[in-house]
Amino acid sequence: MAANSLMDVIGGTPAVWLDRMVAARGLEGRILAKLDYLNPGFSKKDRAARGIIEAAEADGELAPGQTVVELTSGNMGTGLAIVCGLKGYPFVAVMSRGNSVERARMMAALGAEVVLVDQLPGSVPGQVSGGDLAEVDRVAREIVTARGAFRADQFHHAGNTRAHYETTGPEMWADSDRSLTAFVDFAGSGGTYAGTVRALKARSPDLRGYVVEPEGAEALAGRSVLSPDHPIQGGGYAISVLEFLKTCPVDGYLSVSGAAARDAARALAREEGIFGGFSAGANAAAALELLAGPERGGVIGIVICDSGLKYLSTDLWGLD
């Protein structure tokens, strides 16, 4: 049956077992990959975008026709461009120039007004630091004030994590035939991890949840930040406290280097036919590390956060 709106096909994405990758490395256990890059905006953020806007409508935070503004690395902005466009809200995406150009072009094509913010002096294109993100946040706040806009505020709005609690977690549990023993996720806003792990632990209290950060920027794990710049776009901003993780159970922290995330993303494409982005590679690399260590023989859930199509201008898909 055909859907009445693209809104109706957000979520409900398929999931696949990464048995080829696991077997090729001689590991015991299984990894279940939730293919959220198959959402309409090619990322998991479509779920959060719909969740935030619908919650804001229900609570009266968002008035008919009001402008919506949000900072983004590109994925949340794409989801909001779709949701706001379908619902009739003007949308302004504020993004660092350090993010891949494909993301800005996609948001603009979907009707968003895209405001690009220069990186701080010394920053590396393709590597957005916490300082760069703070500058994007400053510009977003100015636009909200100037236009009397609604700030989607993905780092704090409950609609973000609630969307994953109500959809991603239950879907993954069913997809795995109720067999998951662990869940691991690269931390951006923390909304996916917090909502999903709460839903999974409600069904299996012994399930363990792990948060992934970039090597050298493990602020959430309480370590010194030695290298805030890294290529894993969409997270790892060396922020020591994320609102959604304050009261959320975390059983362990892992770090993944940019090179390891890149290698795992390429392996996902070659070995499993999954064309994901940097953070998908980080999740896969972390899950493989867990199967080689504390989760040996277990069943680990991960999310393929976004599409590799959003990184064609980066070195993720080099021809070397």
Closest C-alpha among 119, 145, 141, 143 to residue 132? 119
Pair of tokens at residue 208 = 């363990």
CA distance 82 to 111: 8
**DSSP secondary structure of the chain:** ---SSGGGGSS---EEE-HHHHHHTT--SEEEEE-GGGSTTSBTHHHHHHHHHHHHHHHT-S-TT--EEEE-SSHHHHHHHHHHHHHT--EEEEEETTS-HHHHHHHHHTT-EEEEEPPPTTPBTTB--HHHHHHHHHHHHHHHHHHTPEE--TTT-HHHHHHIIIIIHHHHHHHTTS---EEEEE-SSSHHHHHHHHHHHHH-TT-EEEEEEETT--TTTT---S----S-TTS----S--GGGTTS---EEEEE-HHHHHHHHHHIIIII---B-HHHHHHHHHHHHHHTTTTTT-EEEEE--BBGGGGTTSGGG---
CA distance 145 to 127: 28
Q: Which of 73, 176, 189, 279 is catalytic?
A: 279
Pair of tokens at residue 36 = 């959220």
227 is catalytic: no
189 is catalytic: no
Phi-psi region of 164 (alpha: psi -120 to 50; beta: other; left: phi over 0): alpha
Q: Which of 34, 45, 87, 310 is catalytic?
A: 45
Name the helix (H) or strand (E) containing 161: helix 158-163
Q: Which residues are catalytic?
A: 45, 279
